[in-house]
Structure 1
């Protein structure tokens, strides 16, 4: 039974709340200095957590599913239309190494957390498989491991809630870290400095307002932006679905076929690749379109609101508080090892935070963070590198799950 003010089938009201709060977050960020320091992304996310945890809106609804199904795929091409194509490939290779180190950190965190809590949480071998796969890849890997290890439904639900709450908290932490002197004094942060370069001139405007200044945009620009994005999404998803259906995958299939299926059968990886290909082949066309970044960013803010909605604190307290501890240990160890490895190998703070985000939340949340922070040169690379997690996540989850099962 739903005990919320707005019911899950009241679609127009829920859409309205999400859109209005996303818009309000952008306005607050650009109008008030305190909001600019917090960032509109955190305002959107925290506001959604408050709305769902105070019983105003439900934690599940077809509206939220629609955001994941339609809004995110449309946002990705829109935000890539004006990126530096050559720089994407240069940065992607650099980011891959720190991403893999961060993935190792997830494995280490899962192993430590498992041994600390294996006597206190039932089915922890199966949950460990799910969370390790998810915290290297994403929701696709989570679902795959849940099906593979046949975890009881109530434990899957509890794990989802713990994961959602942890992701929301961690996202806020990652957004705050670049503003802290402790980290700025110890890590290079050129992307932060680039965004802040206009701050010295105090004209009463917030950083966000300066960055998102007015631009010339026509009806044709809007039409071409949205139309081109839809075209790329449709073609990419059809290609991915086709290859995903004809290329076999699973335990009985060779590593090469699994890898191939993961590469050209993943719709987001195909979408990113096809967008890059279009940018390389038709650079003048994309340079002529104004407004794509603004439209894509507004869609990402809608996504920020939806991320916070499922983070139900009462459900965690009632059902499985130790599961939150389990995932928190994984996340903390991932962050610590990622920061240490990044420092040793001389990576920028922004790169370290984004790959950790890509591990824990997936490439979409990492790209969303890069957009919110104004690190535009890292949006494309983190999308490319983050999708590698989808490929290796199931292998890591399966290996750990089978190993953990011998301990219980």
Structure 2
């Protein structure tokens, strides 16, 4: 990958319509920070370690705020990191454009995406996903349709906030996650000043949509029977772990709820302890994933779909590492457990750079119309889920709810919902299904861009 030069020297800006074929760096260079004004001409920390210190501190502050404060949890760590950097840039402490930001766009963001993808257990998803996987795919199609409808219905007001490009980015985020938003923004050359407002609307509306999903009533008696049957069927293949889940599922709603909470704590809420060996393996595998994917995408002319190529490479690498460890007598478990935590830490720095590029709180002005767009998009998504998923395919309601949650919020919120609703047999499939969005989100966003001809 190529180290990005300063924006003024970047030849990619001569052709802003289509990205080049130089992999991640060339794809993201097109949307790399452009000066938006509002910051001091000579920032206090123009570059070097003082600047990196502040970027890393924004990411750390965001994680602390999300975990330990109500307001941080409501806003989400990416948005907190971005707003902190907006404040620093607006006050003239950090620049809105510098070489360090190119390093983050060219190296840190792709490495974060690779880390997220390395922890996606595709084999388990195919084996155990079943109705939940199908619900997720139906929901993804509904989100694409909703983005197209919302963009056309709000064409005039939406134009000032980024038009069809921001619609495609938000669709990518609501099928996948933040890394998909960034990948589509890079491929479509979304103006940097639009990004903070779009992310603010994205995160704030997501909380409302997830609350609505949690409020949908489900027939608890039918759910308990389905949970017991699923756990019993899984017991022969799952060994003692499967038997433990089956036993908890058959003890009634109160005990099942407690077991689900424990399952969520073990699977979603309690991160795996990272060792120096594990961290080194994750970073090395992430680097290999990005390097191979960049070369492959450039060779076939598919730079805008780099994240899809990365998903295939990361899956192959993770399965190969798992096979090798099993052959050497090790446990048959994913090798890169904890990679998602590394990706979360890295992506915080990336969102700090997005905030710095905006340079002013005026970037949040377009969040209102984007909230309206998201409402239309998700309403159409839910309509498709109801008509196709429930009406035509007769999928279970709990699978439809979790599939929609995995679309909108991701793997962690889907697993948490499964635990809170008393569906312990769906906690692990919800986690894996949600992580599939990292592979599918970019494709969904680019499909919307193609539909809207942007």
Normalising by structure 1, we get a TM-score of 0.63
Q: Which residue of 1 aligns with 2:170?
A: 135
Alpha-carbon displacement from aligned partner over 1:248-277 (angstroms, at most 9, x marks no partner)? 359xxxxxxxxxx94897324432454345
Q: Is the 8 A contact 1:272 1:384 kept in 2?
A: no
Indicate whether 1:387 and 2:428 are aligned.
no
Q: 1:163 aligns with which of 168, 192, 198?
A: 198
2:171 counterpart SS class: coil
1:22 to partner: Cα distance: 2.2
Q: Is the 8 A contact 1:82 1:286 kept in 2?
A: no
Structure 1 residues without counterparts, runs of 5 or longer: 30-34, 251-260, 358-365, 403-408
Q: Is the 8 A contact 1:81 1:279 kept in 2?
A: no
1:95 to partner: Cα distance: 2.2
Structure 2 residues without counterparts, runs of 5 or longer: 1-38, 173-180, 228-247, 391-398, 420-426
Q: Which residue of 2 aligns with 1:101?
A: 142
Q: Which residue of 2 aligns with 1:377?
A: 429
1:112 to partner: Cα distance: 0.5
Q: Which residue of 1 aligns with 2:295?
A: 242
Q: Is the 8 A contact 1:189 1:349 kept in 2?
A: no
- Give the distance between the partners of 1:396 and 1:213, measured in 2 at CA: 36
2:154 counterpart SS class: helix
Alpha-carbon displacement from aligned partner over 1:299-340 (angstroms, at most 9, x marks no partner)? 35536755875569x97873673x333322221111112223
Indicate whether 1:335 and 2:378 are aligned.
yes
1:99 to partner: Cα distance: 0.9
Q: Which residue of 2 aligns with 1:352?
A: 404
Q: Is the 8 A contact 1:47 1:305 kept in 2?
A: no
1:136 counterpart SS class: helix
1:228 to partner: Cα distance: 3.3
Structure 1 residues 371 and 7: alpha-carbon distance in aligned structure 2, compared to 1, 3 A threshold: farther
Structure 1 residues 47 and 241: alpha-carbon distance in aligned structure 2, compared to 1, 3 A threshold: closer
Indicate whether 1:318 and 2:371 are aligned.
no
1:96 to partner: Cα distance: 1.8
Alpha-carbon displacement from aligned partner over 1:354-408 (angstroms, at most 9, x marks no partner)? 2245xxxxxxxx3464577674423333333553342353343144236xxxxxx
- Give the distance between the partners of 1:129 and 1:104, measured in 2 at CA: 13
Q: For the aligned residues, what is the CA RMSD?
A: 5.0
- Give the distance between the partners of 1:53 and 1:234, measured in 2 at CA: 29
Q: In the comparison of the two structures, how many residue pairs are matched?
A: 350
1:240 to partner: Cα distance: 1.6
Map 1:62-101 → 2, pairs under 5 A: 62=101, 65=105, 67-78=108-119, 80=121, 86-88=127-129, 91-101=132-142
Q: 2:285 aligns with which of 222, 227, 232?
A: 232
1:183 counterpart SS class: coil
1:58 to partner: Cα distance: 5.8
Structure 1 residues 281 and 170: alpha-carbon distance in aligned structure 2, compared to 1, 3 A threshold: farther
Q: 2:275 aligns with which of 196, 217, 222?
A: 222
Q: Which residue of 2 aligns with 1:363?
A: none
Q: 1:113 aligns with which of 154, 164, 167?
A: 154
- Give the distance between the partners of 1:303 and 1:371, measured in 2 at CA: 23
- Give the distance between the partners of 1:351 and 1:18, measured in 2 at CA: 29
Structure 1 residues 24 and 297: alpha-carbon distance in aligned structure 2, compared to 1, 3 A threshold: farther
- Give the distance between the partners of 1:102 and 1:214, measured in 2 at CA: 30
